[in-house]
Amino acid sequence: MKGILILFGIILGTMVAAQHPLTQDNVTLLTMDRHAENLLDKTKANSVSIGIFQSRQTFTRHYGEIDKGKANPANDSTLFEIGSVTKIFTGTLMANAVLDGKLNLDDDIRKYIQGSYPNLEYLSIPVRISDLISFKTAFDRELPDNSEIKKRAQDSTAFLLWNLDAQYSKQQFFEDLKGVKLDTIPGVVYKYSNLSMELSAHILETVYHKTYETLLNDMILSPLGMHDTKLYPHEGEVVADGYNDQQMLMPMNVNHLWGSGGYLKSSIRDLVKFLNYELDPKNKIVQETQRNISDSDQHWVGYYWDGILVVENGIFCHKQGSTYGTQTFFAVYPELKLGIVVVVNQNAPNTYGNLFNTVLEIAEDLKVDSLSKSGIYGYRTTKDKVIFTYTYPRAFDASLIKSVHVAGTFNGWTADDDNYKMATKGNHVYELELPKSSFNKGETYLFKFVINKVG
């Protein structure tokens, strides 16, 4: 994350106190404005919408216009395609089914699929529910199989993919499923899969005897008051247009399967409600979706997240959703009580990188005050030593921390050099002592704490 994180400088022999004359509300809004302008400039997108949930407060802002030259800015109720952020909703339903005892993570998925599928095993090892939710099924293709279309990336690719999806039915899905092969042992290799998502929706319908859409409404959308969010917009409802980098209007997603991998539409006001939901430390379903099921030493995916990793002040859960003309980034920092969602009505080669960096930069700007007040970032000096001190939040699960290193300008930002590995001192504290002679007096050094070599 070098170049993304807000870092703190060491000036040996000098201590400088930061001034914070603005209220936190103003800081949050100014932060949103600054990063939205930067994102619009870098991507040349028409529209950016940002929602933040921070310490029980909601902030929403909208910038630009949906369609260039039409003076039609988004608002809190504007419907956007949210793509794979849909997977977090599906993951919530799957976690609920596990906690309800409807599913077991070790179950063979064929237990819930009618018909014979001897192809869904490798060396007699079946695909399990845990493999579905962690994208480790070893499926050799998507359904429908779009591999040939994706080999020839061109302006018409989105329309060719749309046409393929538009003609694909559930009946064809189950027929083609018999031809899917596993290319390795399930549960070993990560491979992103929308086929896993559609199977998950079918399995949910099997165990609950309700449609996927009904389960979404009954278990998530209605209880949370997310009245804008839906698979199928009502007559007269408009979903925001999306574009590529050539300002070509892109088609909306089409899906005649379950839509569990990327077919939801939502608004910023609803997505902020879902941020709040994902930040609830007492919600057993939320905790299950974010759990380190694989007991990974670095990062994990929980239930269909793109990544969950330990950072300086807790865990960071993130999910990106792409459609043909829109990208959404959804992220939560539970220990900070901070959630951020950004929607851009553009899908271009550089959109994701800029969107990812924007969310991280917003988070770092909003975390600075919290970090400095909590004492997480710190060092002190003695006559002949510099002592770095990292203190993790008391409410945080310490078992998720496998290692803590110091990385900075003084060691080339190396995140896994054991010469810079911190030692636990008890009482939530890690420390590292370095000789003062390693630093040049009066020079400024930047550093950060790296958790599990990736945080």
8 Å CB contact between 74 and 48: no
Token representation of residue 140: 């050799």
Q: Which of 353, 342, 332, 359 is nearest to 74 (CA)?
A: 342
Token representation of residue 38: 């930067």
8 Å CB contact between 298 and 309: yes
Q: Which of 328, 299, 324 is nearest to 311 (CA)?
A: 299
Token representation of residue 228: 């804008």
Please, what's the largest Cα pairwise distance for the chain?
75
Q: Which of 334, 339, 453 is nearest to 395 (CA)?
A: 334
Token representation of residue 368: 């600075």
Q: From its phi and psi, is residue 225 left (phi > 0), alpha (psi between -120 and 50) or beta?
A: left
Question: Helix, strand, or coil here: 157?
Answer: helix
Q: Which of 403, 319, 417 is nearest to 82 (CA)?
A: 319
Token representation of residue 62: 């909208």
Note the pLDDT of residue 15. Answer: 32
Q: What b/e string do you get for 185-216 counting C-beta neighbours within 10 Å, with b at 16 or more? A: ebbeeeeebbbbbbbbbbbbbeebeeebbebb
**Non-local CB neighbours of 296 within 8 Å, separated by 6+ positions:** none
pLDDT in single tens digits along all 455 residues of the chain: 332 223 344 444 333 333 445 567 788 999 999 999 999 999 999 999 999 999 899 999 999 999 999 999 999 999 999 999 999 999 999 999 999 999 999 999 999 999 999 999 999 999 999 999 999 999 999 999 999 998 887 778 999 999 999 999 999 999 999 999 999 999 999 999 999 999 999 999 999 999 999 999 999 999 999 999 999 999 999 999 999 999 999 999 999 999 999 999 999 999 999 999 999 999 999 999 999 998 888 899 999 999 999 988 789 999 999 999 999 999 999 989 999 999 999 999 999 999 999 999 999 888 755 544 444 457 888 889 999 998 887 777 888 888 999 998 999 988 889 999 999 988 889 999 999 988 888 788 888 889 998 86
Note the pLDDT of residue 3. Answer: 27
**Non-local CB neighbours of 400 within 8 Å, separated by 6+ positions:** 292, 310, 315, 452
Q: Which of 288, 353, 354 is nearest to 317 (CA)?
A: 288
User: What is the rounded end-to-end Cα distance, in angstroms, of the chain?
Assistant: 8
Q: What are phi and psi of 444, to 5 degrees?
A: -90, 130
Token representation of residue 23: 């209220």
Note the pLDDT of residue 382. Answer: 86
d(CA 377, CA 392): 10
8 Å CB contact between 332 and 317: yes
Kindly report the three-state secondary structure assignment for every residue of 236-263. Answer: CCCECCCECCCCCECCCCCCCCCCCCCC
Bridge-based pairing of strands 125-126 and 314-322 is: unpaired
Q: What are phi and psi of 320, to 5 degrees?
A: -115, 140
Note the pLDDT of residue 20. Answer: 42
Q: How far is CA 222 from CA 50, 274, 298, in A?
A: 23, 12, 36
Token representation of residue 139: 């499926």
Cα angle 165-167-168, degrees, rounded to a multiple of 5: 65
Note the pLDDT of residue 16. Answer: 34
Note the pLDDT of residue 182. Answer: 97
Note the pLDDT of residue 455. Answer: 61
* Domains of the chain and any CATH numbers: 80-366 (3.40.710.10), 378-451 (2.60.40.10)
Token representation of residue 346: 């553009």
Question: Which ranges of 54-85 does DSSP label H, i.e. alpha helix?
Answer: none
